[in-house]
Structure 1
Amino acid sequence: MQPFAGRAAVAGIGMTALTRESGRTELELAVEACRAACADAGIGPRDVDAVLSYHLNDSAPAVQVARALGIERLGWHNDIAGGGDAGGVDPGRRGDADTRRFSAKYRHL
């Protein structure tokens, strides 16, 4: 069993439409995906205490996303650049999560 089992969870999923030219910034797309994840989880963005950005040089920094969402107290954030399964293993570093909250994870294609 992983040390973060029962302490961290993905409670909602959100994404934007997949397109090559949306006419919007990476920050706008990230905020849209995060708001959709919050809605799916049944919480407001201010209930989020962590933001993880997993990208290939084409994303908004996690702190900027948190500000745009109106998150006042960000307990944890990380920006991961790279491919493969790097984004899948990082939630283990978030083992101190309050189980009532979740980290919003997004990726732009």
Structure 2
Amino acid sequence: MPFSDFMSKIRQWDVQTAKWINRHFYLLFFEIILAIIFVAFFVNSLKVIDFNIEAMGEGKLLEKILISQSVNLSFVVMLLLLNSFWILFMFNSILRISASLRELNYVLGKRRNTDS
């Protein structure tokens, strides 16, 4: 393989890598940020639940109700974060399918034009 062919192959890989990073960077970035937020929130909520259960003991009825409501609200927030993961995953999948269909359309159109 001559040097010019090798360099053109490297340029082609570089362009494809740059396209991939440009397409998926923001979605991957936000998924990573959401994962960090989710893990931090999950660990924090487990600590809060453990602390509240230890501190509750023989408390009043109102305190028990408030603690159970705070735990339930924590679960709702965690489920909303998981839902945002799912939505980002779906948007990412839709964008990938769209890009693949565009490339396929381009290749088929190019073949059709060369066959004519």
TM-score using structure 2 length:
0.23
> Which is helix-richer, 1 or 2?
2
> Which is strand-richer, 1 or 2?
1
- Greater relative CO (CA pairs within 8 A, separation 6+): 1
Work out which of the two has the higher radius of gyration on C-alpha atoms and give 1 or 2: 2
TM-score using structure 1 length:
0.24
